[in-house]
Structures are given as structure tokens and as C-alpha cells.
Chain A
Amino acid sequence: MKVPEQIKRLAVVIFVIVAAVLVTRYLIPASVVDQRVYRAASVQREVSREIKFAGATTCGDCHDDINTKKKLGFHKGLSCETCHGPSVKHAEDPSSGKPFAPRERKFCPQCHEYNPSRPTGFPQIIPTIHNPLKPCITCHNPHDPVPPQVPRECSACHAQIERTKALSRHALLECTTCHSTPTRHKLLPRSVKPTKPENREFCAKCHDKGAPRKEAPKVDAATHGGRFLCWECHYPHMPGEA
């Protein structure tokens, strides 16, 4: 029997339609066409991503001493990981290494450097003149940051000198490093005076080349400055501003 030409063509058309339906129904995976499926998969991918910051409450479980201290200080609002960086690995397995601990001087100014756009009242410093050129943690405890305490004895009267010195490179030196104060100075401040350095050799004890204090800047005391005394050019309570 001869199949008419139009039937053949119709068969081809029907076959194509059926094939198309089958392909869209069964061969294309649901994860490509079904919105619910591919969105669920996408949410799953998003949710299963790795966490890197452990969260503020985690650290206190072990480090409760530091946590209690921090809670009472000015840094109470800070999360540990604000400074120590992402630490989820350390939280899960404390033996896997310690979190980053910033010790260098350039870290704290990220928040505390003076910037006119910062809100009024936020504690700020100018790192180039807030001295000594030492890491902030030498004077300030980052878990309980307060201005470093000064000896009350001298600052009670010489507050201006104390404040100047507190910002200077000599901040860590006691007043008694250079001045020896008789006890009676407190009773009779004008008639019994503390001593002052009298000669160039006094400063040279630290600042001469070859002097023992390594961090003090060195000069050749024999030639530097000629016949002048050190404090005729350098103010000892704010040195470096000659």
C-alpha cells in the first residue's frame, strides 16, 4: 500500500512535536527549568558557604578573663575579631594556631588617627606627633584602653608639663630620670627645688653614639651642637621638635 505523501509529512510533524515535548519534559533536568528546584539549589549553595568570623559570643567561652575585662572598658562594643581578624578556625580547634594579634603601631590609627570627618568626641590622635614612636600597646592596653596613668606626685602641680611629656618621645621616662626631687620640695616648692640636668654629658648618657639605650637617637656628643647646651635647641619634655 502506498502511503500518501501528505501523511508522511504529517507523521514527521507529529514526530517532531512529540520529540520536543519529550525532550522538554524528561531530558532537560528540572534543575534548569523548574524555578523552585534551581532556587532551592542556589539557596543551598549560598547557605553552605564557609564561615570565617566566629562571632562575638564565641570567644568569651574560653577567654572569659579578657572578655570580662573588655566588657568594662571603652572597647566594650568591639567584637574580638574587629582587631584579631577572622578566627573561626581557632574557635573550632584552638590548637590549630592563634588568631592574628596586631602589635605594630600602624594598626590602632586605622580607627584612632585624627580625621575631620570622624564624629566629635571619638578619641583621635595625630600619629606623627603622638609619641614615642612605639607600638600603642606599650602604654595602652587594648582590652581596657585608658590614657596611661601618670605619677600623681609631679602632675598634681606640673600638669602642663606632664601632658606635654605624655605625648612626647620621652613619655615613658619618669620625671625622676632627669630630676631628683628632695621630699621637702612638696612642702616648700619654691625654696627647695628639684635638680635639673646641668651639662651636655647628662643627655649624652643616652644620646651619645655608643650609649647603651638602643632606641634613643644618637649623636656625637663631642661635636653635635658646638658650644650650646642640649636644651637650648631641644625641649626635653617634647624632644624632636627642635
Chain B
Amino acid sequence: MDKREFLKSLIVFIPAGGIIASLAKQAGAKAPAPAYQAKNHYYGMGIEIDKCIGCNRCVEACKLENDVPDEPFYFRTWVERYTIKKDRTVVVETVGLRKGKRKEIVEQEDVLRSFFVPKLCNHCANPPCVQVCPVDATWSTEDGAVIVDKNRCIGCRYCIQACPYGARYLHPKTKTADKCTFCYHRVVRGLLPACVEVCPTQARIFGDLKSQASRLVRFERMNKIHVLKPDLNTQPKVYYAGLDGEVR
């Protein structure tokens, strides 16, 4: 091949290559969306205290979605009501499921402030429950959910003891540890967790920390964020906005 021939073929090759590349790109775009890739996601939840009205819709939705027992002491998520009195004493009570007779809420003279705090598994990046499990039945998935393997769990309750947030319970039927999974089965299909889905005031925000466009990343940018018990270095992934100092 002499120099002239080479240059001639180059003139043909470069535009032809460009066309072929763009065609290939178009074909790729038309192909169906690739299957869920766990490594492309890292999930967290944001909770805005000022928006929570303590209606317990999230708790009821969670129980329905995840077959959590109906008894009022099994929770994957729950809402706490904090009442801070003028003498700085703090009363914390779980907002009850309103099946029976409701307790009359009386405005008290000596209350300084009062608010609701929804709580759930913090899906810690450094989870103490995973460290203590003797049979490797609980672990963090690649996309940031802490999950219990029901087939491996022997029900020893170490993890329930180890969780500083009290987010786990022993399921009375399976006798294995059970906890919030961020509704993993919904999330991988592009749906929101049930509690986020039903929240009437958008007090809960769910999103992908790896995506700059996600609502959670925006929520973190727009609010001053606190987590629960930061001094334990569990690195929780449930982020609270407007969290009162008494809760931390």
C-alpha cells in the first residue's frame, strides 16, 4: 500500500466508521433497559421531622406489605412521639396503632415542644448487627440494604441485642430475626418502599445516593442533616432533617 492509496482509503474509512458507530449506538438505545444492577445503586432514606404528622400510615402500610405480625410490638418501622417539658424531661412514646380506643390527647401547660420521629432500620454502612451474627445470616447488600437470610438465621437474637436503634425483632412465626429491608423487593423493580409510598406529607424520602439526580441527594443538599447516635460510628443511612437535639 503506498501513501496515496492509504490516504484515499482513510477518507472513506473515517466517515463510514462514524456512521457505523452512531448506528450501533441507536441500536443500543432501542434495546430493553438492562436488568437491575445492584452495584449501580446505594440506597438511603431521608426523613423530615417538620412534616411528620404522626398518622401511622407508614406503619400500617409496612405491616401490610411485609406481613409483619399485627400485634402492636412487632415493627419494621414505627413512629415515636417526643414531648419535651419545660423542666427538660423528655417523654417518648410509640404512636399506637389505632385499632382500639384512642387515648385522649390533652394539651399540657408545661410542654415546651412536641413532635413525631419516624424510626426504622438505619441500614448502617457499618452495621453492628452484621458483626455479631455467628452464622453469617445478615449482611449488607451491594446497594446498601441490610438483609436477613431467613434460611441461615438460627434465631439467637444477638443482632436484636446489638442493634443500637432497636430496629430488629424476632418474628414469632419463623423464629428468625426480622427487620426493615427498604422494601428490597419493591426497590429493585423501581418502586418506592411502602412507607414512602403512602406517606401523605412526604415526610419520608427515598433515593439513591449514587445518583446526583435522586430526591435524597437533593434532600441532603437542601437540609441540615443529622443521623441517630452518630457517636457509635455505625454510619446510618437514614438521614433526618430538623432533628431535635434530644433525639440524637
Contact = CB atoms under 8 A, between A and B. Distances in A.
Contacts of B105: 113-117
Nearest to B139: A39
B72 interface: no
Given A43-B141, A117-B114, A56 B136 contact: no
A39 B116 contact: no
Interface string A28-61: 0000000100110111011111111101100000
A78 interface: yes
A194 interface: no
Q: Which 9 A-B pairs give the minimum distances between C-beta atoms? A: A42-B149, A117-B114, A49-B185, A111-B55, A82-B198, A78-B200, A55-B191, A116-B107, A46-B184
A82 B199 CA distance: 7
A165 to B, nearest CB: 26
A97 interface: no
Contacts, number: 105
Interface string B11-30: 00000000000000000000
A85 interface: yes
A51 B184 contact: no
Interface residues of B, number: 45
Task: Find the residue from A41, A42, A52 having the highest chain B CB count within 10 A.
Answer: A42
A67 interface: no
Given A117-B81, A118-B53, A122-B53, A110 B98 contact: yes
A45 B148 CA distance: 11
29 contacts: A38-B149, A39-B149, A42-B151, A42-B152, A43-B141, A45-B150, A47-B185, A51-B65, A52-B65, A53-B61, A53-B65, A53-B194, A55-B197, A56-B192, A56-B197, A75-B200, A78-B200, A82-B199, A82-B200, A111-B53, A111-B200, A114-B105, A115-B53, A116-B107, A116-B111, A117-B82, A117-B115, A119-B52, A119-B53
Given A52-B65, A82-B197, A119-B115, 11 more contacts: A39-B149, A42-B151, A46-B181, A46-B185, A53-B198, A55-B191, A55-B192, A82-B57, A110-B56, A110-B98, A117-B115
B181 A52 contact: no
Interface in B139-196: 139, 141, 147, 149-152, 181, 184-186, 188-189, 191-192, 194
Interface in A105-154: 110-111, 113-119, 122
B201 interface: yes
Nearest to A54: B191
Nearest to B147: A46
